[in-house]
Amino acid sequence: MRANLGEASFTIDDVDALASGPATLTLSDAARSLVAESRAVVERYAAGDEPVYGLNTGLGANVGFRVARSELEDFQQQLVRGRTIGVGEPLPERVCRAALIVRCVGLARGGAGISPPLLELLLAMVERGVTPVIPRRGSIGASDLGLAAHIAAVAIGRGGAWHDNQRLSGDEALAAAGLAPASLGVKDGHALCTTSAVSVGHAALTLADASRVVLFGVHAAALAAEGYGANPSIFDARIAKARPAARQVDAAALFRRLLDGSSLNDPGAARQIQDPLSFRCLAQIVGVVLQALADARREVEVELDATADNPIVLLPDGPMLSTANFHTPAIALAFDTLSIAFTHMATASFHRIARLLDPALSGLSRYLSPVGGGSAGYVPVQKLCAALLGEVRLLASPASLDAMPVSDAVEDVAPQTPLAISKLADQLEPLRILAAVEALVAAQAVDLREAARLAAPTRCLHDAIRAVAAPLESDREPAPDVERVVGLTADRDLLARLAASLDGLDLPFLQRFSAVEKA
């Protein structure tokens, strides 16, 4: 993958693509010019007497301390080393790579005033696969200073990094890639560290993963509607338009597309006028998820296109002003909201599974077992689903509600953005498994309802399930089948086919690329 920084806006899907394999980042002529101009401003201020935060002053509560002109460069090295505070297990390598990429994107906008050779080193680290090891814990979301310092540490030959599937020290990783550590100039350490790039990179990948879970989940829900014999009239466009709340119109259109061509739409096919709410409220529930997902994507993509440095070099006239653009409550609140919306989606999925297993409601055999009698069928997986739903609900607890004052209470508010992102990332696993169980149970229901004619999108999912899990004819171990269907939730070829069934619809979980070229 290749991206030329400064030529186009970056999307979440760009970050996902660049972080998932070999990538090359280059600077456009315009970006190169911006970086050079902003660096000239920094050097002018460094030669003067005006106090500039992080350039010739201390940080945080030390803002009143003035750094001597002869010590400006040494102070940047000290700044990096003293703020490398991340501890515990590292973030996944893919997330760390995304953080490095996002920082490069931000630095190319010129607001940080970084030394051009230092930015070139970071771009080379991306291209040659030197990925800083960034611990999971150490940021409260009022800038990722203490985590981004682990990126800066590698740039000066310290810290740790992955290279060629090995975890090495920073200097070893650079040497293995044919690179040399940088010498930090004035403001360079602060430019590398004062950023929300770790949070934004993690957020971008989490939303890309969430989009894939939603794509699979809505197809599973549609297949469940086929297996239940649900009444599709509830997705009538006129109903959605009568109360167009929170992407309900889009969700109704989504399910009309997913069920187009199904025998559910045949005259007189509806088994009942009104189905249980877990089926009947699909447009309302999924609409809320679409809205929350779109809001979260918007806030993250604002950051991808933003200049969030503190202080910021304002070109073309060049004052350097302190900012609070590192503060990211919009992302934290959006992620907390999305995690709550996902509990509604998961709860409805749990109940659709239960309704499919109930012969009094589904009209099918008890527990979807063809043999009856004492057969357990699929009822044991309800315990698994209850455990998954409990986990989803636990992880919906808001993370952005509280923060402790730090740095002599000068830094007295924080959004806890990294925690909100990590919590949602963890929530995706039980969501993914629950969607897989719903798809597996729905496929069994469809097979038992022999006269059913599936729509093309649900047929695609059903066929994929049957390629890895045979219909249940007598009791057998459910777990292997569940695991194989969980594997389908990450099958890029299947997901591409499912997404193709939704071409033309305005849905936030469908991929969008802007700055990335396939190379």
pLDDT tens for each residue of 18-44: 999 899 999 999 999 999 999 999 999
| CA atoms within a 13 Å half-sphere pointing along the CA-CB vector of 310 | 18
Token pair recorded at residue 351: 């109940």
Does 497 have pLDDT greater than 90?
Answer: yes
pLDDT score for 386: 98
Token pair recorded at residue 108: 């190319």
pLDDT digits (tens, 9 = 90+) for 189-236: 999 999 999 999 999 999 999 999 999 999 999 999 999 999 999 999
pLDDT digits (tens, 9 = 90+) for 254-310: 999 999 999 999 988 888 889 999 999 999 999 999 999 999 999 999 999 999 888
The percentage of residues in the chain with a pLDDT greater than 90, rounded to a whole number, is 79
Question: The domain 206-302+327-403+413-508 is classified under which CATH number: 1.20.1730.10, 3.30.1180.20, 3.30.413.10, 1.20.200.10?
Answer: 1.20.200.10
Rounded to whole angstroms, the Cα distance separating 92 from 162 reads: 11
> Which strands form 2-5's sheet, in the order they lie side by side?
24-27, 2-5, 516-517
Does 65 have pLDDT greater than 90?
Answer: no
Q: Has this prediction a pTM greater than 0.85? A: yes
Token pair recorded at residue 18: 């660049």
| Mean model confidence pLDDT for the chain | 93
More confident residue, 401 or 470: 470
What are the distances in angstroms from CA 461 to CA 231, 233, 299, 440, 485? 20, 22, 32, 10, 10
Amino acid in the structure at residue 303: E
pLDDT score for 445: 96
User: Dihedral of CA 458/459/461/466: which sign?
Assistant: positive
The DSSP-derived string for 332-343 is HHHHHHHHHHHH
> Whose structure tokens read 């699979």?
216
The answer to whether 301 and 314 are in contact (CB under 8 A) is no
Ranges of H-type helices in 243-328: 248-258, 277-280, 282-304
The DSSP-derived string for 321-389 is E---TTB-HHHHHHHHHHHHHHHHHHHHHHHHHHHHH-HHHH-S-GGG-SS-TT--TTTTHHHHHHHHH
Pairing of strands 24-27, 2-5: parallel
pLDDT score for 410: 66
| DSSP single-letter state for residue 264 | G
Does 81 have pLDDT greater than 70?
Answer: yes
What are the distances in angstroms from CA 17 to CA 2, 21, 409, 506, 511? 10, 7, 40, 21, 10
The answer to whether 315 and 37 are in contact (CB under 8 A) is yes
Q: Which residues does residue 293 pair with via DSSP β-bridges, in sequence order?
A: none
Rounded to whole angstroms, the Cα distance separating 281 from 287 reads: 10
More confident residue, 403 or 218: 218
Token pair recorded at residue 245: 């709340």
Which is nearest to 94 in space by CA: 191, 202, 177, 180?
A: 202
pLDDT score for 425: 97
Q: Count other Cβ atoms within 10 Å, centred on residue 404.
A: 11
Rounded to whole angstroms, the Cα distance separating 276 from 230 reads: 9
Rounded to whole angstroms, the Cα distance separating 293 from 369 reads: 37
Rounded to whole angstroms, the Cα distance separating 401 from 420 reads: 10
What are the distances in angstroms from CA 273 to CA 128, 267, 269? 61, 13, 11
Average pLDDT of span 406-411: 68
What architecture does CATH give domain 2-195? Orthogonal Bundle (1.10)
**Domain extent listing, the chain:** 2-195, 206-302+327-403+413-508
3-state secondary structure of 21: coil
pLDDT score for 519: 59
Token pair recorded at residue 12: 């979440």
